[in-house]
Amino acid sequence: MPSRAPSLGSCPTCKSSRLEPRELEPDLPSMRCPTCSGSFVAFDDYFAWQAKAAQPTAPAAAQGSPVGAADAGPVKLCPGCGRFMARFRIAEDIPFHIDRCGGCAGMWFERGEWDQLRARGVHTRVNTFFSDARQHQIQAAESARQQEERYRSLLGEADLRRAAEFREWANAHAKRSIIYAYLDAREAP
């Protein structure tokens, strides 16, 4: 049986629960799902709250519920305007995505995601992570991490560490181009 599309004001995760008004932070209104504890924040509300925030708060210990496991699954529909929401990575070392509406720019935070962002001190600048340049930077870092893991699996930890030390030495050497040319020289078979 096909799932029913949520109506405006319905939870984009649960699809049937109606969102209820609740402050995510003092002076930051949101609409929260009573079933899954996800929260929708309108971009204008976030931007106004961000402008009022005198200083970003220092990172605190993570509190609250664990982060929801809703990163897999169907595309979500915005509870504010009904358009599709796109998924954005926030940082290389943050394991979840934030859903952001392509129409009204509202943001959906699954249970625990806002708490994790607050604990890292990035909740006051979430809007900066949606740019193409930032997303490219995150993808490049993820690609480099995957490449490093591939080398680790091929060489082993000890040899990879030794190769990294050699690379660091060669990169700092005044004649590094000659060193790399020497290493790349191969005799014909």
pLDDT in tens, the chain (189 residues): 444 444 568 899 988 899 999 999 999 999 999 999 999 999 999 999 998 875 544 333 333 333 333 345 678 999 999 999 988 888 777 888 899 998 899 999 999 999 999 998 889 888 888 767 766 777 777 777 778 888 888 889 998 899 889 889 988 989 888 888 888 886 655
**Residue 149, φ and ψ in degrees, nearest 5:** -65, -40
Contacts of 62 (CB under 8 A, 6+ apart): 115, 116, 119
Q: Does the reported pTM lie above 0.95?
A: no
Q: Which amino acid is at 181?
A: A
Of 107, 111, 144, the closest CA to residue 128 belongs to: 107
Q: Could you tell me the residue ranges of all domains in the chain?
A: 20-135, 158-189
CA 136 to chain centre: 12
